[in-house]
Structures are given as C-alpha cells and as structure tokens.
Chain A
Amino acid sequence: MDKLMADLKEQIIEQLNLQDVKPEDIGDDQALFGDGLGLDSIDALELIVLLQQKYKVKLSNAEDGPKIFRSVRTIAEFIESNKIPNA
C-alpha cells in the first residue's frame, strides 16, 4: 500500500504537470481538491485516464470521482479493491 501510494504521488505529479511539487510534499491523507493541493475538475478527468492507463482500473461514472480522489490513500484503496487480476 505504501509503495503504491509513493508511486501514485509520482504519477500524479507527472500527469498533472505539478511543477515545483515533490512527492514528499503530498501527504497520504491530504485533500487533493479544493484548498488541499488545489486540483480541479479537469485534473479529476486526467486522474481517471491515469488510473486506466497506468493501473488498468476503470472509473465509468464521473460522479464517483470526488470520493475516490479525495486523497492519495483513497485512490490507492480504490486501485487495490478494483485491480483486474492478472490472467
């Protein structure tokens, strides 16, 4: 879980082009949207693509976004519980 969260932080920084932000700047439970890291609805859509491309997890209902993307931990938990098992 910790490794996944560390990896996620790097991926998020890269996908969203968060210049000047380092993985250690993002807390595991820090709010990503609103006042936290300041992400917005476009970032949420980018994260949906990130999940699909890098973690093979699909989010088909955009409305689930806010609770899944609340923090790095909630994203990691979502990935863990929805991973497509290796064939």
Chain B
Amino acid sequence: MYIRAASNISPQNTFGNQPFLSELIEYNGDRLTCIEPDYKTLIDPKLTRRMSRIIKMGVAAGMDCLHQAGINAPDAIITGTAYGCLEDTNTFLSKMVQQNEEALAPTAFIQSTHNTISAQIALLLQCHRYNNTFVNGGASFENGLLDAMMLLYEGEASNVLIGGIDEITINSHAILKRMGLYRRKPVSNFELFNTPGKGTMAGEGSAFFLLSREASGNDWAKIDGVSSFYKPRNVAEIQQHIRTFLLTQNTDINEIGLLLTGSNGDLKNVAVYEQLLQYDFDNVPVINYKALCGEYPTSSAFAMWLAAHEIKNGVCSFVSSRNQIPLKKVLIYNHYQNIHHSLILLSAC
C-alpha cells in the first residue's frame, strides 16, 4: 500500500509548502491549536458557509491531498474521528438546553453527525463510491487504515482517500481538563518530556492520505502494516505485540531507522515508552511526535504524515547531519490513554 499524497493541517506549519521543519512552533499552556489555511482559496465560499471548523479542516486536507495526487475522485473515502463534529454538537446541545427544546435551527444538528466529513468530501466530488467513518477513540484512524488496506487487497478500490481528524473546542477542553487529561500548570510543548507530570497538552489535527495499490514511482512511502490492540494487560503483552507485528512484516528491530512514539509527558502514560526505549529500541533515533501536535485520539494520523515526510526526505531531519543514515523503515507506536494501542510500519519505496 503506497502513500501517493498526504496533506496535514496541524499545530505546526505542515499544510502546503511551508517551512515546517525549519520553524517548529512552540506552545505554552495546555493546548496546541491548528494553524489553519485560508479556506476561501480551497473550498467554494458558497459551501463553507455551513461548515464548522472541523469540517473545513477535513475537506481542505482531503481536497488538497487529491489535488497533489492529481486525482479527481478517489475509489473510496474513509475518515477516522473519535469525537466527530464537536462544535456543531455543542452548538445544538447548548441551544437545546438554553431554549428548552424550542425554536431550534437544523444546521448544527445536520453537521454534528460523525460521518459529515466523509460525506461532504463525497458531495463536493460527486463521488458515489465506498464511504465510511470510524469512531473508535484512539483506534479510529487505524480501523480506517485497515478498511483501506482490505479494499485495496480485495480489488474493490485502486486508491483510497483516508484521514484522521479531531478537534478541540472550549467545552471539550474544559471537560477533559476536569478529567485530569491536561496539565494544570502551563508548560511548553518543547519541554513536555523534560518535565514529566500529571497530564499532557491537548492537540488537534486533520491529516489525509491518498493510498494506492500500485506504486507510482513518486510516492511518499509504503505502508507495510498496521496493527491495533485493545487494553493490553501489561508491558510484556505490548512487547509481544510489537515482536509479533515485526515478525509478520519480516522486519528485524535493527532495520528500524526511526521510531515515532506517542509519549505525551503524562506520568500515567509514559511508562511503557520508557521500557520499550530502554530494552527494545535502545539504539534507534526517537521522535516523541506529540510534542509537535499535542494529544488527541487520532494523532497517529499526524505521526503517519511525519513518518512519511521523513521517508520522502530520505534521512531523519531531527538527527544531526553527520549522524544521518538513509531511512529505510520507520515504526510508529502509540497508545491513547492506555486503551487503544497501535503500530504502523512504513518503509521507503
């Protein structure tokens, strides 16, 4: 499965031709928010009037991805999102409570359904093909990737547009903060791992990929495999999953040129990463990618963008030039709140 094109709206300069790596953005506080493009140049303003922020983010990244790949309409459209369209849900819910269920307007309700992003893209493209939306928390993007892989393998599609997207809203942030997910005291995303503590920093993003069965000769990277597992009982089980995964991919740990981890600086989440780095991946360069995008359920989509970006680059840009070696394989390992764990292995084409 090849990544023909990728597009990413994130808290870093990742969308379009941007100085992403030369200008990493620092955030101080408890959240990282997306740097959004000017949607007027990407989506017909007559259509954006109804779209809330997350829908614009999804549609823009999806359309940009297709544009990059030179494809008018994909054979399938899949989205992974844990929270769906939160702002619209919030708007309708709030009005419903405040107005005591009277005189409510339809737009926010219509836009609040989780499949709105996949649906809007299909509508814009007049695409009648396979259309799906996965909403399983920290495995939403991975479930979607698995669906895409099956479609390509089954011959039902020769290319698939797939994205992982989630947003923060004022209310969702307030609620998750009360649940203890985020840092009480402000911290810098660049210092998150140097100052481990209770909680992490919230993030958000919209990363879309055009995957194809055949190599084009101009692809970002190849996806060798995806695996997600649920509530492993202990670190040993996680290590076993990783070993089995690499075995099925005919890959030795020594072949991994770069490891992207979902470590988020939260004491209750980092233990497993520390163990893995100490015992299994002690010689591999590591990027804790959530320093760049923050913590959210579909952050592995950002990680996949970053991994593919590095592979396309040829070498790991975060390593000093004298230590750089050609990147052959990149592994992503992430978990969301110890519930859903995932592994994605990418390799150079």
Contact = CB atoms under 8 A, between A and B. Distances in A.
Assess A/B contact in the complex (Cβ within 8 A).
yes
Interface of A: 15-20, 38, 42, 45-46, 49, 52-53
A16 B49 contact: yes
A16 B45 CA distance: 13
A9 to B, nearest CB: 16
Interface in B37-51: 45-46, 48-50
B interface majority secondary structure:
loop
B105 to A, nearest CB: 4
7 contacts: A15-B105, A42-B50, A42-B106, A42-B107, A42-B110, A49-B105, A53-B103
Interface string B100-113: 00011111001000
A15 B108 CA distance: 12
B69 to A, nearest CB: 29
Interface range, B side: 10 to 19
A2 to B, nearest CB: 27
B105 A46 contact: yes
B107 A46 contact: yes
A27 B229 CA distance: 59
A18 B49 CA distance: 6
Given A19-B48, A42-B50, A49-B106, 12 more contacts: A15-B105, A16-B49, A17-B49, A17-B50, A18-B49, A20-B45, A38-B46, A42-B107, A45-B105, A46-B105, A52-B103, A53-B103
Contacts of A18: 49
Nearest to B106: A45
Contacts of A42: 50, 106-107, 110
